[in-house]
Amino acid sequence: MSILTESNAPASTENPTIVEATTAPVVKTTFSAEEIQKLLPHRYPFLLVDKIIDYVPGKKAVGVKNVTVNEPQFPGHFPGRPLMPGVLIVEAMAQVGGIVMTQLPELEGGLFVFAGIDKVRFRRQVVPGDQLILTVELMWVKQRRFGKMQGKAEVDGQVAAEGELMFSLIS
């Protein structure tokens, strides 16, 4: 609230006037691991997003996945030469997309599953010690049930994987 004083009040005002200040709503642009767990149903060992570093409501999210040698897939993929499976890279992109989808006002709180995966290409290997930067942008939403996103996973500025991800809201 702002109060008009003699210095900023109109000359004809005998009594100070109270004016309501308008403030834009605060938009959250980052999410911690704990906040992500409130939005997504995934848990260890399948929660593949450590934090969201940039979020634009209804448009995109950028997440981080720190790849560590302690993850359960590495002893078997591959012994002596750990390599993150491509399907897990795609799943990590999808989980970042889930952050965008679950917060759309008309779809808030829904459970989204894969409806399709198109044009996915793997461009570089992802190994323990890498940090995946996962960028997912909303392309469209149809019938308040389906969504399509463009996803990209990068390591050190190099594209590791990219493609289109489709989601369906299930009840």
Which residues 6+ apart lie within 8 Å of 65 measured at CB?
A: 48, 49, 50, 92, 131, 132, 134
What gap in Å lies between CA 51 and CA 33, rounded to an integer? 5
Q: Catalytic site residue 77? A: yes
Query: Which amino acid makes up residue 76?
Result: G
Catalytic residue of the set 77, 124, 145, 152: 77
Tokens of 119: 């044009």
Task: Round the CA-based radius of gyration of the chain to a whole number and report it.
Answer: 22
Residue position matching structure tokens 């209804």? 58
Catalytic residue numbers, as ranges: 77
